[in-house]
Amino acid sequence: MSQTIHEAAEAFRQAVSTATVGDLSFPTSLDASRRVLKAVENPDLGMAALAKIVVAEPLLSAKVIRLANSVALNPTNQTVRDVRHAVMRVGMDPIKGLAMVLIMDQLRQSHRHSGSRDISNRLWERSVHIAALSYVLARKLTKLNADEAMFAGIVHDLGRFYLLSRLADFPVLLENSVVMAETINDLASHATEMVLGELKLPASIVDAVLASQQFSGSMPPASLSDLLFIAGVVSPRHDPFDELDARVIPLSNSGVALGLDQSTVSEVIAASGDEIYSIVIALES
């Protein structure tokens, strides 16, 4: 590794480590999605009021209707064609998740350097799959809130999306993918806590995300962090940073070592393939 790479990595670490919540900024185009996030935290907000907020954001409206008509939420195949009825079927927590999907997608597409585009797209695909898997596994294996599980899956890598967006100011790091991955992995927990805090997400979500690299060995999973860990193990989309970072033990190996019963999980996934696929399509599209 050249001295230039060393210096860039250290400068990047310093910039992120000393950043404060006030230093965080998001593109102006994310304002509508952030308004939705803020609105759904209001306990007095009714579904009719939420529908008015959603309909003002066309991309979010489309995603809400698509999710409402997915196999997972529409097993009787009764098609919803308007936002008001879609909001009623989907509910507040999943809509909050969809607003976060838009934030992540817009962050992903705002990256200014083509060198980060591929890894950003791969991270995006993995986040969507983990969200879908978390939702289905929560419903089929646990008593955990499936909507909260899907939301946690969506946001679990938001810190690394933020770090990718900051790489535009340190383009030399993109010349060495291994150093870039190691640096981002080292900063991921700090960035995740900072970004999720800036978005004022519930402490239960933040704590679960930060603990999701560990597995208690409990089956069926009793905590949201365990559920996220399992979704990460079985996701068909691998972590692009961990593949580059030789220091990281693959989640699949770690899961086996900690006693994860993958056969039970695999059976649930096989029996729920249509549900999982429908959620992935609703989130990605």
User: Look-up: residue for tokens 């696929």?
Assistant: 277
pTM of the model: 0.80
196, 155 Cβ separation under 8 angstroms: yes
Q: Would you state the pLDDT for residue 3?
A: 57
Per the omega criterion (within 30 degrees of 0), is the bond before 171 cis?
Answer: no
Examine the pLDDT at 189 and tell me if it is beyond 60: yes
Kindly give the interhelix angle for 177-198 and 203-210, rounded to the nearest 10 degrees.
160
Task: Report pLDDT digits (tens) over 126-153.
Answer: 999 999 999 999 999 999 999 889 889 9
Going by pLDDT thresholds of 50, 70 and 90, the confidence category of residue 55 is confident
Examine the pLDDT at 28 and tell me if it is beyond 50: no
Q: How many structural domains are present in the chain?
A: 1
What's the length of the chain? 285
Q: What is the CATH number of the domain that holds 263?
A: 1.10.3210.10
Containing structural domain, residue 157: 3-284
Could you give the CA distance from residue 137 to residue 142 in angstroms, rounded to a whole number?
A: 7
Could you give the CA distance from residue 150 to residue 131 in angstroms, rounded to a whole number?
A: 4
Q: Give the mean pLDDT of 223-232.
A: 94
In this structure, which long-range contacts are made by residues 3-11, counting pairs with CB atoms below 8 Å and at least 24 apart in sequence? Answer: 4/172, 5/172, 5/173, 5/175, 5/176, 5/179, 8/170, 8/172, 8/173, 9/173, 9/179, 9/183, 11/170
Task: Report pLDDT digits (tens) over 117-126.
Answer: 888 889 989 9
When computed from its CA atoms, the radius of gyration of the chain, rounded to whole angstroms, is 19
113, 174 Cβ separation under 8 angstroms: yes
CA of residue 270 relative to chain centroid, distance = 22
Window from 33-42, 143-152, 212-221 with minimum mean pLDDT: 33-42
End-to-end Cα separation, the chain, in angstroms: 39
